[in-house]
Structure 1
């Protein structure tokens, strides 16, 4: 769904109904910093901060970012960017930001909460995972890559040990890792009773599922099998990229997972991408799936993090039958196709894209590279072309690239307002399957809540309340159809 569209309050609503509520784990350091600068008017962030195990760290975050009464139109102050070896300030803000979102989602109930990370944001994963574990997250989900090192990372961090992952560095002549030591970060405030969350790998093909399953060290606890229509980043087609008349990637039979082979692995799996209807839920369960992951119908619900203006525009276009979502092969600096909803006033419009000054200041999707002298640099295909070329990038890699980091922040009302008067425009992502939202809109013409969407999904599937897997307590396993309202941008 993007940054904080799968919000803590929506995840809480889903979890309270007995299913798996999932928050987006993308850029939660910046989300917290900006919410605090906006005055945290309802006090939610500060309430969560009061429960962070290390109050000295929480106070440093408050002292730096909280503004009583808000910014009054001033630009947001920059937060430190994550690197292979991040600064202390960057580590603390990332740990605390992820803690806050998960803690708020879990507050006041005993339901299950997950967090969805993006494999492409490798440098932010160790710190984000520690923050989520400190808040007691039940599940971690990750896609947009091969998350082979995440099971070990979660085991290490939950045991209080130093944990890390390999960082892909362009032109690397050596092995690079990004690590975090919970004891060094938290000191004596590190809880002794941390639990290891379950890990669900988001995959698009049975071959990747089989690869991850074969070795116990990298084996996840289950899979989310995601089809091409799903929103946000999606796997590119296998083989040479071919585009249709609208410039969208063409997917074929080679891009369809063999669900029977995935089921034969014996791990629970969920289906995602065009499964947002009661009929599709029943279809998923009939294949042996534990349930489905849904994004678009929850992104459009009243509990999502989208601003009222953006949600209203989307629903109006859906109501008039003119809402469309394009799978843009160029939009993301990562090189992965990215679904972009066509909406006036957003980055989906060529004139809005052309009017934006090229810059990269949030930097979540930038790529580390090794300079000739052996030091590390960082580049993003959405930054100014001259700067990108000086860093060893190629001009053709910059064509059509959009600053998703800033656009996704604007979707939820915390877009940057720059000193020169430029205000960041939204970049809205949705899935391409709109049949479910169209049906829901017919029932709820003024919009629907997360609870109403969940109730509708479960229509006709009440006989599918499966029991827990062998060796799992019922409280540790999501019930039949976890509406995982999760999509990391």
Structure 2
């Protein structure tokens, strides 16, 4: 039998913007719905502390292979009726090279629940999106998603050569490892042993999902195809107009008059070279029209990945208040000079350029962000470094400056950095209540398609559904009806 990959991939937007509800809706249309695994353990524990009012998380946990682990999680985090609005969230432990078993179990369960809920009640396909830059949770995330039967894994923000081999091992419930870069020292090795983490659970072989790394060049794609530790099944080719993190420009960083990175001819991807790799690929970053979809398919792409249009749909995980205000501002106010999106070369602790929507009341406003007290209490974007005693520590250029410098970091690396972890949690209505009662502020990210979001609105309407997005993208009959030529064997 042959398997036809979906034409449209819904982008995996974190933190929990691409949640299970959005992914499920897209999957039910016959396209690829994708959940974000970024910080998914924190997302689940905050849903539980908010009372899990609809019971979805607890229903997912009841399906988890280990009820011993599920019950421990509920005992630790669930609050009947939900926490008070002024009560801070109890935080999950921070990751380390040797994370505690309870944290690994929490992560496995959280990713399982997200994928299980997305797959519940239909036979469509579901993908998981992770960031290579957020390495320490990834093995546990992958295993949890595989326990729930995830069909695809998509990874960006780095070069994930080790992930294909890890998928092979995890599908057999074997120990998988990842190298963790350590500044000033040798790579550390992080391992995940399903037999130890799942304790007394009876484990059975798991489906190995398709693996699609996100690339910004055909050269990188070829490198991954040849040098990854296992099978690569296709690619997402992402340009600099996509939302979230972008690959840095090739060559020295140069900025335009607005302070954004300048991308040039060297950053364009040759589709002919992508076709020569003989693996399916999807174009991402400002391709969200039926005309562009038809154009790239005619040039050899299998389809497109779309994020921004889904991020502002009704099913998105973005807090309704933020989503509706953003749409209202875009529809009724003149766009700032240069458009609604700013590509910030400094804000992300990853050193990758990061796109932020230029919307009032969000920390894209520099003065508003500078009023925030610096704190690093989620830690997903910390970097490992070698301490004076030879052990491995972690630091983040968005943490308090004195702490970062004390850990051997350079003060100039902290300038302009923003705590994306807390800001993105605030985007989905789960902002932490910090000391003194201050609530973390949102920082909405989107691609350049945000400038054209009005095309999704029908006359008299101020919102739209994820299904509307799919219908719009596939509205040209030739695109919707012609079967793609790229086939892959069923797993």
1:402 aligns with one of 414, 418, 426: 418
Cα shift readout 1:166-189 (whole Å, capped 9, x = no counterpart): 1111111x3311110011111342
Retained in 1: the 8 A contact 2:162–2:228? Answer: no
Deviation larger for 84-93 or 32-41: 84-93
2:400 aligns with one of 384, 391, 408: 384
Cα shift readout 1:396-451 (whole Å, capped 9, x = no counterpart): 10111000000000000011012411100001100023355221125573211001
Partner residue of 1:180? 192
Question: What pairs with 1:357-376 in structure 2 (closer than 5 Å)?
Answer: 357-376=373-392
Question: What pairs with 1:77-156 in structure 2 (closer than 5 Å)?
Answer: 77-156=90-169
Partner residue of 1:334? 350
Retained in 1: the 8 A contact 2:287–2:306? Answer: yes
Cα shift readout 1:314-337 (whole Å, capped 9, x = no counterpart): 101221242601000011011100
Aligned pair in 2 of structure 1 residues 442, 242: CA closer, same or farther (>3 Å)? Answer: farther
Partner residue of 1:486? none
Retained in 2: the 8 A contact 1:2–1:429? Answer: no
| RMSD over equivalenced CA pairs, Å | 1.4
Retained in 1: the 8 A contact 2:105–2:198? Answer: no
Structure 2 stretches of 5 or more lacking a match?
A: 1-12
Which structure has the higher relative contact order (CA within 8 Å, separation 6+)?
1
Cα shift readout 1:125-157 (whole Å, capped 9, x = no counterpart): 111111111111100000111110000011101
- What TM-score does the superposition give when structure 2 sets the normalisation length? 0.94
1:451 aligns with 2:472: no
- What TM-score does the superposition give when structure 1 sets the normalisation length? 0.94
Structure 1 stretches of 5 or more lacking a match?
A: 477-489
Partner residue of 1:480? none
Aligned pair in 2 of structure 1 residues 216, 434: CA closer, same or farther (>3 Å)? Answer: closer
1:48 aligns with 2:39: no
Deviation larger for 441-450 or 68-77: 441-450
Classify the secondary structure of the residue corresponding to 1:448. Answer: coil
Provide the rounded CA distance (Å) in 2 between the counterparts of 1:288 and 1:242: 32
2:204 aligns with one of 192, 203, 221: 192
Partner residue of 1:485? none
Cα shift readout 1:367-391 (whole Å, capped 9, x = no counterpart): 1101121111110001110000000
Q: C-alpha displacement at 1:190, in angstroms?
A: 4.2
Count matched residues. Answer: 472
Provide the rounded CA distance (Å) in 1 between the counterparts of 2:356 and 2:434: 24
Q: C-alpha displacement at 1:464, in angstroms?
A: 2.9
Q: C-alpha displacement at 1:19, in angstroms?
A: 0.8
Q: C-alpha displacement at 1:217, in angstroms?
A: 3.2
Classify the secondary structure of the residue corresponding to 1:193. Answer: coil
Provide the rounded CA distance (Å) in 2 between the counterparts of 1:55 and 1:111: 27
Classify the secondary structure of the residue corresponding to 1:41. Answer: coil
1:462 aligns with 2:480: yes
Cα shift readout 1:336-367 (whole Å, capped 9, x = no counterpart): 00001111111101221011000100000001
